């Protein structure tokens, strides 16, 4: 019987490829389990051992049989543990995602499963003319959180471009979570300025975070478009920042954008731009596809093309800095 089973196994078409796909699907299932566990609040709840009854009550479960299967699957994955009728987090991933400092990684999982997953789910229809996805407003808070996964690669650059020995006026376009305003203040406690974002949820998150960090007196934060700025947005600014958002400005509008920003700068002011660029990278290729599938998104920029656009916009000194080894993730400082 064992021999027959082995022979049957060996006769499977494309055996090696099937095994590879099965391995890929295991990772797929784990990510989707973690997504569901985050969305339901299960991971946060299981930071301490909890009984099935408590889980059912705390999560408002109406289908206990589905909960049992969900928990059993988590145990099978090794992400959950069960001991004496109480469940807890066991996997290294689930424990990391449940910690406060793991929130950017948790949001990254949620973004990939929900936003990026929808892009691929709808890609066949969009290739033949179906509308692009209206994702930006719905995912604004999520993307602001997940973008902090890039923070370790950006913090030194963000602080290095800020003069430290004098008062400084900053304009941040696309403030997201506000974390880079925090790093700006850490570099220069005399900094003040304005931060804007087109998404109200991101603005609310920034305001909450600035208050929590005790630096909300440094900045005014507005829901606004740079093309229709609030009355308070008056130059000159010593530094203007565009972090991880140039791909939300259409390609044909960027020279005009840079010209406008140049007029808002002080004579010795600078524009700082950070972005993933097009290049030989799976992450970049995926993100480019996501952007092109999104209403309000534009293709990932090309590094040298951005530099040419900055020069056309009136900047004469352009400095490019790679921020992540092996990835086309760059900072550009223009004066």
The whole-number average pLDDT for the span 269-291 is: 95
Let me know whether 71 and 205 are in one domain: no
Report the alpha-carbon distance of residue 152 to residue 325 in Å, rounded: 12
Q: Of 98, 132, 149, which one is at a domain's C-terminal end?
A: 98
The set of residues, in sequence order, having a beta carbon less than 8 Å from that of 175 and lying 6+ positions away, is 181, 195, 196, 197, 202, 203, 206, 221
How much is the pLDDT for 108? 95
Same domain for 65 and 152, yes or no, is no
The pLDDT of residue 230 is 87
Spell out a b/e string for 42-78, using b for 16 or more CB atoms within 10 Å of the CB, else e.
bbbbbeeebebeebbeeeebeeeeebeebbeebeebe
Render pLDDT for 104-130 as a digit per residue (tens, 0 to 9).
999 999 999 999 999 999 999 999 999
pLDDT at position 324, please? Answer: 93
Specify if 63 maps to a domain.
yes
**Which residue, among 79, 66, 154, has the nearest Cα to 109 in the 3D structure?**
79
Please say if the pLDDT value at position 7 is more than 70: no
Is residue 93 located within the same domain as residue 233?
no
Looking at the fold, whether 73 and 145 belong to one and the same domain comes out as no
Average model confidence (pLDDT) across the chain: 93
Reply yes or no on whether the pLDDT at 266 is more than 80.
Answer: yes
Q: For the whole model, what pTM was predicted? A: 0.88
Alpha carbon distance 254, 118 (integer Å): 28
Residue 136 maps to a domain: no
Within-domain flag for 107: no
pLDDT at 128: 98
Give the integer Cα–Cα distance in Å for 273 and 265: 14
User: pLDDT-based confidence at 216, cuts 50/70/90?
Assistant: very high
**pLDDT for 60-75, tens place per residue?**
999 999 999 999 999 9
In contact, 138 and 297? CB cutoff 8 Å: no
Among candidate residues 82, 98, 114, the one where a domain is terminated = 98
Nearest to 329 by CA among 157, 119, 83, 143: 157
State residue 9's pLDDT score.
58
pLDDT (tens digit per residue) in 220-238: 999 998 988 888 888 899 9
Q: How many CB atoms lie within 10 A of CB 22?
A: 9
Helix (H) or strand (E) holding 214: none
pLDDT of residue 15: 73
Please count the structural domains in the chain: 2
List the domain range (segments joined by +) for residue 56. 15-98
Statement to judge: residues 300 and 172 lie in one domain: yes
- Kindly provide the residue ranges of all beta strands, DSSP E only, lying in 155-236, ordered along the sequence: 168-173, 191-197, 219-223
pLDDT for residue 17 is more than 90: no
Mean pLDDT, residues 70-86 taken together: 95
Q: Is the domain of 61 the same as that of 188?
A: no
Q: Are residues 46 and 183 in the same domain?
A: no
Task: Indicate whether 84 and 179 sit together in one domain.
Answer: no
């Amino acid at each position: 019987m064992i021999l027959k089973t082995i022979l049957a196994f060996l006769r499977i078409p494309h055996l090696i490829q099937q095994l590879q796909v099965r391995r890929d699907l295991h990772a797929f299932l784990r990510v989707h389990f973690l997504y569901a566990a985050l969305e339901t609040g299960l991971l946060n709840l299981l930071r301490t051992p909890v009984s099935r009854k408590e889980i059912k009550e705390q999560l408002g479960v109406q289908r206990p049989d589905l909960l049992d299967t969900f928990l059993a699957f988590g145990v099978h994955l090794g992400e959950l543990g069960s001991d004496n009728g109480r469940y807890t987090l066991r996997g290294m991933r689930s424990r990391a995602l449940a910690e406060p400092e793991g929130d950017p990684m948790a949001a990254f999982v949620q973004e990939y499963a929900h936003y990026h997953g929808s892009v691929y789910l709808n890609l066949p229809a969009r290739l033949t003319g179906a509308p692009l996805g209206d994702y930006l407003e719905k995912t604004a808070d999520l993307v602001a959180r997940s973008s902090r996964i890039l923070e370790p690669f950006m913090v030194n650059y963000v602080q290095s471009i800020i003069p430290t020995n004098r008062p400084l006026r900053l304009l941040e376009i696309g403030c997201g979570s506000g974390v880079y305003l925090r790093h700006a203040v850490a570099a220069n406690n005399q900094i003040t300025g304005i931060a804007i974002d087109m998404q109200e949820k991101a603005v609310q998150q920034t305001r909450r975070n600035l208050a929590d960090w005790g630096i909300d007196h440094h900045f005014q934060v507005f829901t606004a478009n740079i093309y229709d700025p609030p009355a308070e947005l008056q130059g000159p600014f010593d530094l203007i920042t565009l972090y991880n958002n140039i791909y939300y400005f259409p390609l044909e509008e960027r020279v005009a954008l840079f010209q406008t920003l140049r007029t808002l700068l002080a004579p010795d002011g600078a524009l700082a731009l950070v972005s993933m660029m097009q290049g030989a990278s799976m992450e970049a290729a995926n993100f480019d596809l996501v952007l092109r599938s999104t209403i309000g998104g534009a293709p990932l920029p090309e590094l040298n093309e951005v530099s040419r656009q900055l020069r056309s916009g009136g900047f004469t000194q352009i400095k490019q800095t790679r921020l992540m080894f092996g990835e086309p993730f760059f900072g550009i400082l223009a004066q």
